Structure 1
Amino acid sequence: MRIVIVGNGMAGSRLAAEIRARDKDARVTVFGAETRAPYNRVLLSNVLAGTAGPEQVCLPTPAEGVDTRLGVTVTEIDRAARTVRTADGGGEPYDVLVLATGSEPVVPPIPGATRAIAFRTMDDCDRILGAAATATTAVVIGGGLLGVEAARGLSGRGMPVTLLHVAGHLMDRQLDAEAGLVLGEALAGLGVTVRTGARAAAVHPHGVELSTGEVLASELVVLACGVRPVTGLARDAGLPVGRGIIVDDRLRTADPAIYAIGECAQHDGTVYGLVAPAWEQAAVVADLVTGAGPAARYRGSRLVTRLKARSVELAAMGETHLTEESAGTVEVVRFTHRARGIYRKLVIRDDRLVGAILLGETPAVGTLTHLYDRGGPLPVDPAGLLFPGQDAAPRADSPVRMPDAARVCECNNVTKGRIRACWEAGARDTEAVVAATRATTGCGSCRDAVEGIIGWLCRQEEVRA
């Protein structure tokens, strides 16, 4: 069977590895428009901040036997001939085609927007760092997850940064107004000036003009105004497209020979913009196309958004915004300490956690994520979950109290039990456990927890000895 994957990002490269792990003889060809080997896009803000180099965010090398074509753009799908055409005039036949084309940055329709640099790829990161070498100030347009990461990354280099966001508070899709306020204050303490309710009207050679006429002087302007799925290839081939390429529970399009995964795919009305769902989808497609799991189905993902910005810890999951309709059906437990940049909120329905925001010191994030993901029952006094030093809420990062079923790495679905099993099988350091489980290779926020579990296991062995 000839399997062709269009897209060599975090979804496409993962799918190729998953397929080869199930079938060593699978014929897999991957086309990547970028000339670079696949890298972890989630960690680009660390490259901006200088806490990681480009080589440190590279993804594992392609699985043996995978034919990877870097810098080759697929321009057409000939469904009748089951062949993809490429910009260099070539073509590749397929029995199974998987579209993993990802997303592209949204560029606002304002004068001079092309003078700004979108923050999406490693090449974008290189351009931003090149400009930052001579710039004295920066403006980031867009206060969503990516914009916050970009602003924090640049401020980490000692550069004054102004973060503009058109909505009333930062990360308004994931956070409520109070959490957005606390986040803004935390960023201000790290050198980022936050301007909410601010609309950019134009980008000039030496600054950004606001809709009010005010001009913010800046030699570097970064765009982080959201992304849109790349669907043109599918649309031109006559496949149904909504916000993304429409797929069923098998992640198949209307053409049973063509699948779609990752940020370009729309499943059950939802387009997922995070890495964990893309990797879950890759596993399902690998099971199906290799025959390793013919009953595999994708039922959607429960999202946990993690902010990957140095000195700012944030996790948001589930129902974080309350409507008039939902307010009467849920219980809200909340704690705020603005001076310390702490905001914790639990949303509970029928004694189950259906949403949470954890900003600042978040020692209970593992426990809460586990409760949210599994729908487990809450303690009699759920307020104890906000203060994990109490017996009502075992610390998620305390291995002795953490159940083996607790997920440590959300992106790769790695539990404490799996880490323990790898350790007992001989993986006695972090690098060996990462190689065996892929833990920490997504957003990277679980690395401390993984290292803590390995250290605890080593100490237990020393005690027994």
Structure 2
Amino acid sequence: MSRSSTDSGARATGRRGTPAGIVVVGNGMAGSRLVSEIRARDRRVALTVFGAEPQQPYNRVLLSNVLAGVTGPEQIGLVDPAWYDANDVDARLGVEVVRVDRDARRVHASDGSVTPYDTLVIATGSTSFVPPIPGTEDGLPGGVVAFRTLADCRRILDAADGARHAVVVGGGLLGIEAARGLAGRGLAVTVVHLAGHLMERQLDQGAGSVLARTLGRLGIRTVLGTSAGALATDGDRRVNAVELESGERLPADVVVMACGVRPEVGLAREAGLKVDRGILVDETLRSLSDPHVRAIGECSQYGDTVYGLVAPAWEQATVLADLLTGADAGARFTGARQITRLKAASVDLVAMGETHFGDDDPEVEVMRFADASRGTYKKVAIRRDRLVGAILLGETSTAGTLTQLYDRSAPLPSDRLSLFFPGMGGVQAADSPVRMPDAATVCHCNNVSKGQIRACWEKGARTADEVARETRASTGCGGCRDALEGIVAWLDEQDSVPVG
């Protein structure tokens, strides 16, 4: 029998002799990845994970697909519950850690248990930010949901059942995903965004305008430069309209709050750890306050940066697993390049690096191509013959090429047009399996190269799904799925070509 069914009681009481190994607080995309990476390296270390959510960990990036109805909740799971028993992991699902006693090295949980640790890893992620809007003083009214978790997704779907009008407050990445998910279910959706254009952190004005036009073709209206002033409700305290600061009143059967997230650092702060926006860590992901505490994912802060994307969190999990198991004592996290991807029906977007450069910086060369009628916008920013930023919206065939150039800070081709249009000037996109070197990274979320995909295929994985299960390629944001399928198809073609 597994540890979770035999000695969880001993662990809970913290009796003398109970093995105090690694305790992970948080079983989301960062925490669950760390647990699986540790077990892949060491099957003996005592390992306990607490997850405040009761279900198996899931891919939060794909929640918008669940909203749209193209993916079922059961299809976005990251770890099968049976895996914990099979791998001797004490999984406390639906149990929240409420206090950390750093002196005694124990964590106190919501079920009354007390668990000792040698190393504590905090991976509590982020929580939704809900601004103080009139109408929310006594909590969110019926039909209003802050979109962050699978439970939130289910609440939105319940509210959307039979609804006609939806309002999404917030036009960042999460808001756009929620809007297209609801529009996919036939609702009339309006996105309300305070900034002057959508996704202002990742996109410039031109790209934001093209994105708004693309969403309009999907039946999603965009209202910019204003915010929700109040939520109007009926006698049952159920939302029926959103009153904007501009004075406009929007009918609403469903309101999704997507106003951003904040690192969940309450537990760390109460434990006396050093916290800025996130828990401050060094390049070994160790807390600057306590050598026995580490932090990864959205709740951690390395230098001045809190990483809000999945790829850096999974990179941190790999580094920390190497360190905690001794697989690589020299492993270090020294920062990550952030690449934002949004792939939905009629909305395909990749943004990386510094995207807001204009023509007023003499040290930066900026190239743009826009075709708003087709929903296409392309931009690259170049400094000293190196790519420092890029946006591809609507047509992303050169995304692989740009990502590799950006990741490696490699010299650019002399024909700059090839960065926008593959094949021009004799330069083909690195996405093409023929031209792509084995060292090229295909899946940036999981750091999977073309060579690893080829090796997996040569070992017998003959479909994209089989390769994905073995390598994890395409299981993050899903943006590389087309590239993965293309490589597998190309390998199949090469295998079928007769010798001579």
Q: TM class, shorter-chain normalised? A: over 0.9
1:51 to 2:86 alignment: no
SS at 1:448's partner residue?
helix
Alpha-carbon contact 2:379-2:390 (below 8 Å) kept: yes
Name the residue aligned to 1:404.
438
Give 1:233's aligned amino acid.
L
Q: Distance in 1 between matches of 2:314 and 2:246?
A: 43
Is the CA contact (8 Å cut-off) linking 1:379 and 1:392 kept in structure 2? no
Q: Check whether the contact 2:56–2:93 (CA below 8 A) recurs between aligned residues.
A: yes
Preserved contact between residue 56 and residue 79 of structure 2 (Cα < 8 Å): no
1:267 aligns with 2:295: no
Aligned equivalents of 2:426 and 2:279: distance in 1? 45
Alignment match, 2:248: 214
Cross-structure match for 1:327: 361
- Alignment partner of 1:366 is 2:394: no
Aligned ranges for residues 212-361 of structure 1 at < 5 Å?
212-253=246-287, 254-322=289-357, 327-361=361-395
After superposition, give the CA deviation of every residue in 1:168-211 in whole Å (9 maximum; x if it has no partner).
00000000000000000000001100111121111112110011
Give 1:172's aligned amino acid: E
* Secondary structure of residue in 1 paired with 2:127: strand
Determine helix, strand or coil for the equivalent of 2:388: strand
Read off the aligned partner of 1:146 and give its amino acid letter: L
Separation in 1 of the partners of 2:362 and 2:425?
Answer: 30
Moved more, 238-247 or 51-60: 51-60
TM-superposition CA deviations, 1:332-372 (whole Å, max 9, x none): 11111111000000100111111000000110101110110
Counterpart residue number, 2:219: 191
2:157 to 111, 129, 132: 129
2:58: which partner in 1? 39
For residue 182 of structure 1, what is the aligned residue in structure 2? 210
Structure 2 counterparts to residues 57-206 of structure 1, below 5 A? 57-61=76-80, 62=83, 64-113=87-136, 114-115=140-141, 116-205=144-233, 206=240
Q: CA separation in 2, counterparts of 1:357 and 1:170?
A: 14
Contact kept in structure 1, 2:207 and 2:377, CA below 8 Å: yes
Contact preservation (8 Å) 1:387, 1:393: no
Paired with 2:246 and 2:469, the residues of 1 have a C-alpha distance of 53
Change beyond 3 A, Cα 1:48–1:15: same
CA contact (8 A) 1:2 1:96 kept: yes
- Percent identity between the aligned chains? 61
Q: Hey, what's the Cα distance between the residues in 2 that align with 1:275 and 1:391?
A: 35
Query: In 1, Cα distance between the equivalents of 2:148 and 2:222?
Result: 21
Amino acid paired to 1:284: V
SS at match of 2:343: strand
RMSD after superposition? 1.2
Measured after TM superposition, the shift of residue 310 of structure 1 is 2.2
Give the C-alpha shift of residue 213 in structure 1. Answer: 2.4
Letter matched to residue 316 of structure 2: Q
Alignment match, 2:26: 7
Helix, strand or coil for the counterpart of 1:14?
A: helix
TM-score after normalising by structure 2: 0.91
Cα offset, 1:323, TM superposition: 7.0
Could you say if the C-alpha distance between residues 96 and 323 of structure 1 is closer, same or farther in structure 2, counting changes exceeding 3 Å?
farther
The structural deviation recorded for 1:270 is 0.3
> What is the identity, as a one-letter code, of the residue corresponding to 1:366?
G
CA distance in 2, matches of 1:176, 1:430: 35
Larger Rg computed on CA atoms: 2
How far apart, in 1, do the equivalents of 2:304 and 2:343 lie? Answer: 27
SS of 1:127's equivalent in the other structure is helix
SS, match of residue 332 in structure 1: strand
- CA drift of 1:392 comes to 4.4
Aligned-residue offset at 1:431: 2.2
- Once the two structures are TM-superposed, the CA of residue 383 in structure 1 deviates from its matched residue by 2.1
TM-score by length of 1: 0.98
Partner Cα separation in structure 1 for residue 431 and residue 363 of structure 2: 31
User: Does the aligned pair in 2 maintain the 1:104–1:228 contact within 8 Å?
Assistant: yes
Shift of 1:427: 1.5
How far does the alpha carbon of each residue in 1:245-280 deviate from its partner, in whole angstroms, 9 at most, with x for none?
000011000201100000000001100000000000
Deviation per residue, 1:235-254 (Å, 9 max, x gap): 11110000000000110002
Amino acid at match of 1:295: G
Of 454, 464, 473, the residue aligned with 1:420 is: 454
Partner of 2:467: 433
Paired positions, count: 464
- Does the Cα contact within 8 Å between 2:277 and 2:301 map onto a contact in 1? yes
Q: C-alpha separation between the residues in 1 aligned to 2:53 and 2:232?
A: 29
CA deviation after TM superposition for structure 1 residue 421, in Å: 1.1
Task: Report if the CA contact (8 A) 2:415-2:425 is conserved.
Answer: no
Deviation at 1:65, TM superposition (A): 1.4
- Structure 2: how far apart are the matches of 1:328 and 1:264? 38
Task: Name the CA distance, whole Å, in 2 between partners of 1:154 and 1:390.
Answer: 39
SS in 1 for 2:63: helix
Q: Give the partner amino acid of 2:190.
A: T
Q: Is the CA contact (8 Å cut-off) linking 1:394 and 1:402 kept in structure 2?
A: no
CA drift of 1:408 comes to 0.9
Query: Residue type of the partner of 1:354?
Result: V
* Distance change in 2, residues 1:14/1:348 (3 Å): same
Q: What secondary structure is seen at the aligned counterpart in 2 of 1:77?
A: strand
CA contact (8 A) 2:125 2:263 kept: yes
Cα distance in structure 2, aligned partners of 1:199 and 1:405: 46
